[in-house]
């Protein structure tokens, strides 16, 4: 028996009102949040600067022994020929140039990584980054933690952007960077240990510089692959 005092049932083709999604008349629609742009220009700049630094390291390794011998000749001889001066000046220019190139390599590389970090969080807000964004900049030179913090930051950015899809390990890239870093520091200390180096010391410095060059070439190839891979993942994730 029907209830004469009850409300009539809704029409079959009329949906029930949704009080949580309805907006008052005249309320403007909320725009969808805008994702940060893919930092493609910074990625390209970071690649070319890494190549420039690697070329400088290779050139330094090539002139390491003759420029070291020229430094010895200048310290021990009162008569300096043109060849000695050319090797000495060439080594100094390469050493200074390598130091200068390191500055934009660091700045542009960190800018690219920070933009990629921010885009990764925007694409996947629920992903828990192991390190805060400040370590994008500090992780490379703060003692002790510089041995693994940058690797964690890059790996988190790549993982969050790729949404856990499998990617090649970063271990070989990071190992090459650590080898270049340690060998370069040892070479600099040996070279600065005495005003005049023995033949054996010059050979050791040249071998260490060659090791730095090989590690830098390998690491640069891997770094380019990492940057390009993250860029492709960023474009795919943004749709």
DSSP 50-109: HHHHHHHHHHHHHTHHHHHHHHHHHHH-S---HHHHHHHHHHHHHHHHHHHHHHHHHHHH
Tokens at 72, concatenated: 């010895």
Q: Who's near 98: CB < 8 A, 6+ residues apart?
A: 53, 56, 57, 60
Confidence check: pLDDT of 15 > 80: no
Confidence check: pLDDT of 151 > 70: yes
The pLDDT value recorded for residue 33 is 64
Q: Who's near 41: CB < 8 A, 6+ residues apart?
A: none
Burial class (CB within 10 angstroms; exposed 0-12, middle 13-18, buried 19+) of 96? exposed
Distance CA 159, CA 234 (A): 11
pLDDT in tens, 182-210: 999 999 999 999 999 999 999 999 999 99
pLDDT in tens, 25-62: 555 555 546 889 999 999 999 999 999 999 999 999 99
The pLDDT value recorded for residue 166 is 93
The pLDDT value recorded for residue 1 is 45
Q: Using alpha carbons only, how large is the chain's radius of gyration in Å?
A: 29
Sign of the four-CA dihedral 219, 186, 201, 191:
positive
Indicate the pTM of the whole model: 0.85
Residue 228's nearest CA partner among 23, 66, 42, 1 is 42
Domain ranges of the chain: 40-238
The percent of residues above 90 in pLDDT, for the chain, comes to 82
């Amino acid at each position: 028996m029907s209830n004469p005092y009850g409300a009539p049932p809704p029409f079959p083709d009329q949906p029930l009102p949704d009080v949580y999604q309805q907006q008052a008349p005249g309320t403007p629609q909320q725009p969808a949040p805008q994702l940060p742009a893919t930092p493609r220009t910074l990625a390209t700049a970071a690649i070319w600067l890494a190549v420039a630094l690697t070329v400088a390291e290779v050139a330094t390794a090539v002139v390491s022994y003759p420029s070291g011998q020229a430094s010895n000749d200048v310290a021990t001889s009162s008569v300096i020929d043109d060849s000695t001066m050319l090797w000495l000046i060439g080594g100094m220019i390469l050493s200074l140039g390598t130091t200068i190139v390191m500055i934009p390599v660091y700045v542009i590389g960190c800018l690219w990584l920070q933009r990629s970090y921010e885009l990764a969080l925007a694409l996947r807000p629920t992903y828990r980054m192991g390190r805060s964004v400040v370590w994008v900049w500090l992780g490379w030179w703060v003692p002790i933690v510089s041995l693994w913090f940058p690797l964690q930051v890059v790996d988190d950015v790549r993982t969050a952007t790729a949404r856990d899809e499998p990617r090649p390990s970063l271990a070989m890239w990071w190992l090459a960077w650590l080898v270049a870093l340690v060998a370069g520091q040892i070479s600099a200390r040996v070279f600065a240990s005495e005003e005049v180096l023995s033949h054996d010391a010059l050979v050791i410095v040249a071998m260490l510089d060659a090791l730095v060059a090989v590690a830098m070439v390998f690491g640069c190839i891997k770094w380019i692959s990492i940057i390009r891979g993250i860029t492709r993942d960023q474009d795919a994730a943004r749709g």
